[in-house]
Chains A and B, each alone.
Chain A
């Protein structure tokens, strides 16, 4: 029809639901669980049941469904679908609290991976589980191809050995999607992901991390020692093909990056809304028409922050719009993640500065948001990894040329 960047009215209900949850459930308990690190926010069980009910009724929209591009729907014309409504919900929910969103039962990144890559039989079998994602190891972070954990075929099983760190929801989840190599001499082509259910012998949650922020979300170290996993739990193809398996696994990131970008956008918006109120109380008004430099320095700073926020917000929506319309979006997903990740940190930190001791003290959530936001510029690909992806695409360079 014509270019339009306002979100459709049909998402108003979904967005409002998420906003109600953010305001009435997440915000009131955010500080409590920030202080009580590692304690499970039991309020979330009630909420999870509610969300399951809404999803069953087709009313809900959450990020953990991953992105399955509905090949059946080849309808002509523009679509605003679940990728967009999902990220809009995530933004609202993270306006409430990022750590709570990361702690939502059955909404883990592992669920996103299963939803994106699993076969139909697996989808049915893992339908009701809460799955975390285990990629990182002590010896590497961003370099996902450096996986040291091994998986060796033995009869009807794979035997897993290795140590995984930084597993979000690794303590509370029902299962973990583990990345392991079938043959370390074959590089990234041999890396596969396996669904390992809790209670499987040889799988031990060793410890939980103490962190800068998102403290309500548990981050686990999990060790696998001769851990036998049914071969049917391997996601995707078991063949060691040139790159294909790894590409499948990495594809998950195209789908989860806009969601993490949305988290940063939601968290930054919370800080912006809070500082706008505080500035108003302090007698500083923001005028969109007057030049920034003729206004209070705090107002000028606010205008720059909100401009950067708007860019992060729209880059994120654009990436989901492309997914909804079956357009390849890995470039746009990385652009969104890069911009949203850095503005999330810049905005929340600047808002603390503007609010002074009011923002720095635990009496306000501003200082918490400034701690929470930092992880969003790190996980699911750091700022620098996003820049690398964008640069390689623009400059037409391979990973061996532009390292």
Chain B
């Protein structure tokens, strides 16, 4: 292995390949003995792509305004300030309680099942009102101002409970947010009422594609103009809860320019297949294939605004940054008592600089990334440019979020590697930050 490790198959290799196939067959036999319900995801993978749409509601435009409703921009206080508003403190307190009491206890099982418990998704709406946070009062939500900061604080608090479940809960809110920010009056009147009710539709913002070095500004999914609408072709990767989704916002290149399209899941040509990954398993992620999917001309979102797509990508990255910060904080909160209570060589682990300095660096990098994320979010909500700040926040949370996840496992040693402790799940989840695009919007 002095360089790239390439060798052809020889006689021994060929024999091993045959043996491996036989062993694999035996494994499948054993699988059949298990309870079928327990492995729903594997069923889905085996059955391949399925069409959606059996249980879809009909989205129809109700009463319509003369123009789209947009939330007001947050005001620039003119002073550097790290103190959240009283309203934000209340929201964070309620969300943190929900994360600690509902998400954290359900996280391990949801990760195992590759599915979020329905009760939690319902309670995120009925107890927490998560669906209302980004929607202004005039459209049935709460608050008159647009607050990216609030979005960041909420995502962070949820991910402290569990990142996978946080993504499952926040996925429909991303679509609602996109409608609020970029929807025209017809799109808002058609779709938003459902999102502010108690029966929130499952929905997802699908940007990521199955390609290495994926660039959201160089999409392979295409939209073609046809009479009366567009035809979409391509594949979207790691779309949360896609198998039960009623509505997608899909990123596709229209004449080479990336744009967002509202796609109802019952539309012909959509197929979905479970796509379980390293982490975020509780979010039931799936591959969505679009083959000749025809949508009406009114399906393009943010068509009038040049920056809509770029801002969508930036706000989504800030959402992932916020999720990373929440999970990173969970790691830190978990390892501090562990290294204090665990003894080695006659004293607590934390009395060793090699251990203590790792903890210090985790906290320093997390706090730095938190401030950079907050700066980007505050600029976004004040209507200032924030491309630079969002990029830097995303870079830091991707880099140091993963480092914190890795060090979390390292500090617990062998115990960090097994499922008795949540740090192995956090390690898997934190790898997602650098990979994901879209999905969450703050």
Contacts and interface: CB of A to CB of B under 8 A. Distances in A.
Given A3-B81, A289-B310, A397 B375 contact: no
B374 interface: yes
B367 A3 contact: no
Interface string A374-403: 000000000010111011101111000111
A146 interface: no
B387 A288 contact: yes
Interface string B310-343: 1001100000000000000000100010011000
A5 B213 CA distance: 32
A402 to B, nearest CB: 5
A281 interface: no
Interface in B353-384: 353, 356-357, 359-361, 363-365, 367-369, 371-372, 374-375, 377-379, 382, 384
A10 B351 CA distance: 46
A9 to B, nearest CB: 6
A6 B377 CA distance: 11
Given A3-B82, A318-B371, A307 B396 contact: yes
A4 interface: yes
B372 A294 contact: no
Contacts of A306: 392
A4 B340 contact: no
Contact of A80 (B80, B313, B336, B388): B80
A312 B388 contact: no
B391 A289 contact: yes
B378 A314 contact: no
Nearest to B145: A2
Contact of A397 (B351, B367, B368, B392): B351
A4 B77 contact: yes
B152 to A, nearest CB: 9
Grouping DSSP codes into helix (H, G, I), strand (E, B) and loop, the A interface class, with mixed when no group exceeds half, is helix
A5 B388 contact: no
Given A80-B80, A290-B217, A310-B372, A338 B356 contact: no
A6 B79 CA distance: 7
A8 interface: yes
A74 B348 CA distance: 43
B356 A388 contact: yes
Given A3-B84, A395-B336, A388 B353 contact: yes
A314 B363 CA distance: 15
A95 interface: no
Contacts of B353: 384, 387-388, 391, 402-403
A5 B80 contact: yes
A311 B368 contact: yes
B351 A401 contact: yes
A288 B385 CA distance: 12
Contact of B371 (A84, A308, A314, A392): A314
Contacts of A78: 77, 79-81, 83
Contact of A402 (B356, B375, B388): B356
B83 A291 contact: no
B15 interface: no
Given A4-B76, A339-B368, A402-B351, A289 B356 contact: no
A292 B359 contact: no
A378 B372 CA distance: 25
Contacts of B88: 3
A9 B387 contact: no
A303 B360 CA distance: 24
A312 B74 CA distance: 26
B218 to A, nearest CB: 8
13 contacts: A3-B378, A4-B81, A5-B82, A6-B76, A78-B81, A288-B392, A311-B368, A311-B369, A332-B367, A335-B364, A391-B353, A396-B340, A402-B350
Interface of B: 74-85, 88, 147, 149, 213-218, 310, 313-314, 332, 336, 339-340, 348, 350-351, 353, 356-357, 359-361, 363-365, 367-369, 371-372, 374-375, 377-379, 382, 384, 387-393, 395-396, 399
Given A6-B378, A310-B372, A395-B336, 15 more contacts: A3-B378, A5-B374, A6-B80, A7-B80, A78-B83, A79-B79, A288-B387, A288-B392, A294-B215, A310-B392, A311-B369, A314-B372, A388-B360, A391-B359, A395-B339
